[in-house]
Amino acid sequence: MSENLEVSFNSPQCGWMSIGFAGGGGEFHTTTAHAPHEQALPELLRILTDLLDENSVQNEFVLHWNRNPEEFDFRFARNDEKILLEIYQYPTEERFAENREKVFAYEGMTAEICQAFYDTFAQLEADKNTDDFEQNWRQSFPLADFEKFENKLRFHGNTQ
C-alpha cells in the first residue's frame, strides 16, 4: 500500500455535503444528502467506534447513504488489525447487487483508517458554528457519537 487513506467531508450546504476518499491508487468524490438517511453521520461514527473495539464480535458493517437518486453502501470489513473499506454505488434506492458498482476500495490498518475519518470529523466539529452546520445539514452535529469515537481512538493510541 503506497499511500494512506484521505477522507474529506466538506461543510454542508443546503442539506448536501461533498465527500471524498483517496488512497491506494484510487479516489472517489461525490455529494451526499441529509435525507432520507438522516442518521448516516452518527451511524458512521458508531461503526468506526465499534471497529476500534477489540471485543466487538461484529466484523462487518454497512452504512447506507445517498445522493438522490443514487444510493451508496459503505462497507467496512475488519480482519484482525486491518479494515477493508468498499464503497458501492447503486443507480437508484433499490439495492440490487447486480446493479451496483464498486467505486472505491481501500485496505489499511484499523488505526490509520479511523484516524483519517477522525481528522475530517474533527474539522467538521471545529467549524460547526462558523459553517452553521445545523442549519446547513438540517440537523445538529453528532457530538456525543464523535466524543465516543474520539475517546475510543485515543484509547487505541491515536489522535494527533
Q: What is the CATH number of the domain that holds 57?
A: 3.30.2450
Give residue 2's pLDDT band: very low, low, confident or very high (50, 70, 90): very low
pTM flag (> 0.85): yes
Q: 1 lies in a domain?
A: no
Q: 39 lies in a domain?
A: yes
Structural domain count, the chain: 1
Note the pLDDT of residue 92: 85
Q: In this structure, what is the dihedral angle of CA atoms 144, 80, 120, 118, given to the nearest 10 degrees?
A: 40
E-strand ranges in 24-145 read 26-33, 60-66, 71-79, 82-90, 101-109
- What residues make up the domain containing 106? 6-155
Question: In angstroms, rounded to a whole number, what is the distance separating the alpha carbons of residues 128 and 134?
Answer: 8
Q: 160 lies in a domain?
A: no
Which helix H or strand E contains 118, and what residues bound it? Answer: helix 110-127
Note the pLDDT of residue 95: 84
Determine the average pLDDT of the residues in 96-111.
94
Note the pLDDT of residue 155: 85
Q: 10 lies in a domain?
A: yes
Q: 86 lies in a domain?
A: yes
Q: 19 lies in a domain?
A: yes
pLDDT in tens, 4-58: 999 999 999 999 999 999 999 999 999 999 999 999 999 999 999 999 998 899 9
Q: If you average pLDDT over every residue of the chain, what do you get?
A: 93
- What nine digits make up the cell of 83? 479494515
Give residue 1's pLDDT band: very low, low, confident or very high (50, 70, 90): very low
